[in-house]
Amino acid sequence: MAVTDKAKGAKGVSAFLVDRDAPGFSIGKIERKMGLRGSHSCELVFDDCQLPADAILGREGDGFKIAMQVLDKGRLTMAACCLGAMEKLIEVSKAYAKTRITFGEPIANRQAIQWMLVDMEISAYAVRNSVYHAAWKLDRGERVTKEAAMVKVLATEAANKAADSAVQIHGGMGYMKGTAPERFYRDLRLTRIYEGTSEILRLLVAREMLK
């Protein structure tokens, strides 16, 4: 994205496809992240980068519009990913609770563990139906800006809570490197930040509600 007309504000932003070998473009350092380490993030450096006229995506001034068009789908996709993570966390937590023996019986027999599992299941049920409903509306060609924002907040916050519960259920083992709860705990934290932070999405929903 680059500003092609400062006087037009958001309508003066244009989108470009930049070839890796474009003059003036280079890739900087690879960032080290807390989680999602299988997905590399790196600095992109533009130093008097020169692009041909046909590098523009869409029309001049469409950059912001193009970005907004992909956000609804991206937020729904993020929510669906969080649902999958929750389902896996429930699966591994149930299996561990059934096999971890303390004081002569599985910890799955203890009400404190059962309630954590139940809360994870209830949250996953709510997220699943919310994701499916918003995706159904999108498939019908309806505008889902508000729904996508709500579902993204619901799913990401529920998934982070599920990861925390999974670590708790696994006890000390859940804190160890290489275990599913530990990895999910780190990976899911970013979901509340990218594709729109929970805070900005709440502002978006408020704006949609109060139109």
Enumerate the active-site residues.
195
Phi first, then psi, for residue 136 (nearest 5°) are -60, -45
Alpha carbon distance, N-terminus to C-terminus of the chain = 29
| CA atoms lying within 13 Å on the CB side of residue 173 | 10
| CA atoms lying within 13 Å on the CB side of residue 16 | 19
CB 78 within 8 A of CB 195: yes
Phi first, then psi, for residue 16 (nearest 5°) are -135, 145
Please report which residue ranges of 14-144 form alpha helices under DSSP H: 63-99, 111-139
DSSP β-bridge partners for residue 57: 15
Phi first, then psi, for residue 31 (nearest 5°) are -80, 145
Please report, to the nearest 10 degrees, the dihedral formed by the alpha carbons of residues 195, 1, 13, 208 taken in order: 0
Q: What angle do CA 79, 81, 83 make, to 5 degrees?
A: 70
